Amino acid sequence: MMNYVWLFLVVLAIVVGALTGNIADVTQSAMTMAGTAVEIALGLIGIMTLWLGIMKIAEEAGLVRLLARAITPLSKRLFPDVPSDHPAVGSMTLNIAANWLGLGNAATPFGIKAMEQLQELNPEKETATNAMIMFLALNTASITLVPMTIIGVRASLGSSDPGAIISATIFASSMATISAIAAVKFFSLFSAAQPAKAASWWPCLLLVVFLLAIALLGVVLGLFSKVASLLPFSCRSMFSFISTWMIPFLLLVIPSLALIKKVHVYEVFIEGAKEGFQVAIRIIPFLVAILAAIAMFRASGAMDFFITLLSPLTDLIGMPAEVLPAALMRPLSGSGTLGIITELLENHGPDSFIGYLASTIYGCTETTFYVIAVYFGAVGIKKTRYAIAAGLFADAIGILAALFICRLLFS
C-alpha cells in the first residue's frame, strides 16, 4: 500500500508542478527536505537513547512482568476462549504491558509468540479466531503512556514543552482501546465463524452504538469544538499536571525500584541505550522518502487544492484540513504518518494547535494494516474476518478523541 501512496504523491506533485509552473520549487523542496529529514533523525538519537535505556532497566527489574501480572484478571475477560493457564495468556499480557510502556522492540516478539500459541488452539488454521482478533485489536489501538518518538521529534524541532501531548495521548489512545474492545465484541456477534454469545456481549453492542452516535453528533453539530469550551479549567490543570510530571516520575521510579531489586542500573541503562542510535539511524530512509514526497506535493500546489476540497468536511468537526492526510495515513504506515506529521510540525510549529493535534494523532493508535500483516502473516492466517473493520473503527474513534482533547487543552 505504501508503494502506491508514495508513488501517487511523487507523480502527482510532478504533474501538478508542471501544469502550475512550480516544477523548480518542487525540485528544490525535495532536496531541502531530504536534508531536513536527516537532521530530524539525528536529533532523535538523544531522546531515543535515554528512553530505551530506562525501559531496559524496567525490563531487567521485572517491572514489565509485574505490569503483565496486574492486567491478567482483565485478560481473562478479554479472552474467554483461551484457558487461563495456557502459555498464550502470559505472552499476550507481556506484549500488552510492553506496548503500554513503549517497548516496541520487546512487544513485537512477545506478540508473535502469543499468536503462535493462539494458533495451537485454532481449529481452522487459516482463519483468525475471536481471541486472535481481540489480541490484534489491542495492538492496533494500544494505550500509549509515553509517546517518546513524537516527543523526540517535537524536541528536535524546538518545542518549548515536547511532553505537553502526553496526557492528550493517554486519553485518545484509551478511547481507541475501549473502542477496539467494543468493536471486536460487537462484530463477533454477527460472525459466521465462532460467533459470540449475544447474552455475554450486549453491553458492547450498546457501547459501539453510543460511540458511533457521539461521533456522528460531533460531525453534524460540531460538538468537538463546542463541548471543550464548557469543561472546567480544573480538567486542563489536571492534564497539564500529568504531562509535566509523567516523564520525571518514570525517570525517578523505574531506576529506584530497579536498584532495590539489585539491578546494576548504570550498566543496564548503557546496554539498552545502545539501541537508541540504531533506531534513529534506521528511520532515516523512511523519513527522507516520505518527507521529500510530501514537500514536493506541497510545493506543486496539489496540497492546497486537496485541503480546499476537504475543508467543508473537516470544518464540520473543527479539524484543520492540513491534519487530515496524517489521520488517513495512520492506519497504513507508521513511517509515512511520522513523515507527514513531522512536515506539519516543521511548517506550522510544534506548539501550534495543528502541531499538538498531529502529535496526538500519532500516538493515539498504531498502524492497523502493518500489525495485521505481521501478526497474522507469522502464523499463516489468510481469513482475517472482521479484524480490519474493528481496527479501523478504533482508529476513527481515536482520531476523534484526539481532536476533542486537543480542543480542550490547546485551543
SS (H, E, C) 39-61: HHHHHHHHHHHHHHHHHHHHHHC
Give residues with Cβ within 8 angstroms of 281, minimum separation 6: 41, 45
What is d(CA 162, CA 158) in angstroms, rounded to the nearest whole number? 8
3-state SS string over 271-285?
HHHHHHHHHHHHCHH
Q: Are 138 and 132 in contact (CB under 8 A)?
A: no
Q: What's the confidence (pLDDT) of residue 198?
A: 45
Q: Are 188 and 201 in contact (CB under 8 A)?
A: yes
Please name the amino acid found at residue 155. Answer: A
Q: What's the confidence (pLDDT) of residue 359?
A: 93
Q: Are 65 and 51 in contact (CB under 8 A)?
A: no
Q: Are 166 and 247 in contact (CB under 8 A)?
A: yes
Q: What's the confidence (pLDDT) of residue 392?
A: 87
Count of Cβ atoms closer than 10 Å to residue 96 Cβ: 26
What is d(CA 334, CA 4) in angstroms, rounded to the nearest whole number? 15
What is d(CA 44, CA 48) in angstroms, rounded to the nearest whole number? 6
pLDDT tens, residue order, the chain (411 aa)? 556 768 888 999 999 999 988 899 999 988 988 888 788 777 767 767 887 788 788 778 887 677 667 766 777 788 888 887 677 877 787 778 777 766 555 577 678 888 888 998 898 888 899 999 999 988 888 888 778 778 888 888 888 888 888 888 888 898 898 889 888 888 887 765 555 554 455 555 555 556 555 555 554 445 544 544 444 445 556 655 665 676 788 788 889 989 998 899 999 999 888 877 776 777 678 778 877 887 888 789 887 787 778 777 777 777 888 888 888 878 866 777 888 898 899 889 999 999 999 999 998 887 787 778 778 887 888 888 888 888 888 888 898 889 888 888 887
Closest CA to 102 of 155, 129, 46, 64: 64
- Look-up of cell digits 479501523: 392
Give the dihedral sign, CA 385/145/398/158: negative
- Look-up of cell digits 506496548: 99
Please name the amino acid found at residue 33. Answer: M
Q: Are 140 and 366 in contact (CB under 8 A)?
A: yes
Closest CA to 57 of 317, 247, 259, 197: 259
Q: What's the confidence (pLDDT) of residue 219?
A: 46
How long a stretch of residues is the chain? Answer: 411
What is d(CA 312, CA 399) in angstroms, rounded to the nearest whole number? 18
What is d(CA 397, CA 404) in angstroms, rounded to the nearest whole number? 10
Closest CA to 157 of 361, 375, 348: 348
Q: What's the confidence (pLDDT) of residue 132?
A: 92
Q: What's the confidence (pLDDT) of residue 329?
A: 78
124 burial level (CB within 10 Å; 0-12, 13-18, 19+): exposed
How is 107-176 classified by DSSP, letter by letter? HHHHHHHHHHHHHHT-SSTTB--HHHHHHHHHHHT---S--HHHHHHHHHTT-S-GGGGHHHHHHHHHHH
Q: What's the confidence (pLDDT) of residue 53?
A: 83
Q: What's the confidence (pLDDT) of residue 350?
A: 92
Please name the amino acid found at residue 409. Answer: L
